[in-house]
Amino acid sequence: MVEPVVIVHGGAWAVPEILWDRSIAGVKTAALRGYKVLQEGGSVVDVAEAAVISLEDNPVFDAGTGSVLTFDEQVEMDAIIMNGATMEAGAVAAIRNIPNPVKVARLIMEKTPHVMLAGEGANKFASQYGINEVDKELLITPYAKEELAEYKKYTNTVYCLFNKTEHANPVGHDTVGCAVVDQKGHTACATSTGGITAKMPGRVGDSPIIGAGGYADDEVGAVSTTGCGEAIMKACLARHIVSVMGTGQDVVTAIKSGLNHMETRINGFGGAIAVSCKGDVGMQFSTPRMPWAYVRQGKLHYGIHPGQHIIEDL
Ligand code: ASP
């Protein structure tokens, strides 16, 4: 019997002080939400979806409501969900103006022969299942507008949040994800994002790409990543981490290996959460901060700063 665990993250980046408390509260709520679904008999896919919906609905994070804006002020989001038992996956890329892209990713996994739908096709598919576009103003926060305006002052807008230097005036927020393992050792992951502020219209990041933004295989474990999508894709970060775990390394060593490879070879920064099929859990990040939380054995663990690990009894 495996000790079940649900871990979530709220994005690896510089997270300014003004957002620390709300980010921590958001990841704690999402981890608890996922764990409750598990306790009520939900599958690992149900858990990953529910935890990510909780984060998408929280405007503190860059996913669903709260998504950051493209250069031309649109909301274009990416998401993935993957079932480690079957290795089925569903993903959406550059879907517009819906509150919960992870729901569409799951529908693609379960209702179509495809893995990913993008753009207009993804929105059309979603509407067949009653998920219609909403007024984009419902998804846009003042933070997202402020951050786009701030970014437009710089010429190299896209990359400035991803090095270790704090941005001049960071007001934005970040990608979310979940990894879960249940008592039977079944695993799943989900990742959802509005991407990066001031991205080119049509830009798709790592989050919906299998092996980059997420990966789940019951023979090893499940991973959700965050950070510079352009680097994560080149590093195949989620697959790298699962591959290292598959050699028998512990979760933290595997994530460190992936982040180290990404930094040394591509000069990219980010973070990841992971669970193994045996119930090990871990998180690491090479950015200044990453809010994370997990529930395991009646305790809620969380942190946001490097080395911070707080434990509360439930
Ligand atoms: N990986 C996301 C992207 O590049 C952003 C993030 O995780 O911060 O779209």
Tens-digit pLDDT profile for residues 72-92? 999 999 999 999 999 999 999
Beta-bridge mates of residue 204 = none
Record: fold of 5-87+141-313: Glutamine Phosphoribosylpyrophosphate, subunit 1, domain 1 (3.60.20)
Tens-digit pLDDT profile for residues 141-170? 988 898 888 877 765 544 444 444 444 344
Residues 24-29, mean pLDDT to the nearest whole number: 98
195 Cα: distance to centroid of ligand 1 (angstroms) = 5
How far is 226 from 208, CA to CA, in rounded Å? 11
Interstrand relation of 76-83 and 187-193 (parallel, antiparallel or unpaired): antiparallel
pLDDT of residue 173: 57
93 lines ligand 1 (CB under 6 A): no
Choosing from 141, 175, 225, 287, which is the catalytic residue? Answer: 175
Tens-digit pLDDT profile for residues 217-236? 999 999 999 999 999 999 99
pLDDT of residue 187: 98
* Buried residues in 111-136 as b, exposed as e (16+ CB within 10 A): eeeebbbbeeebbebbeeeebeeeee
Residue recorded with tokens 């031309």: 72
- Taking the domains of the chain in order of start, what are their residue ranges? 5-87+141-313
pLDDT of residue 154: 65
175 lines ligand 1 (CB under 6 A): yes
Residues 288-307, mean pLDDT to the nearest whole number: 97
Least confident of 12-16, 38-42, 213-217: 12-16
Residues 6 or more apart whose CB falls under 8 angstroms from that of 247 comprise: none
Distance, CA of 51 to chain centre: 10
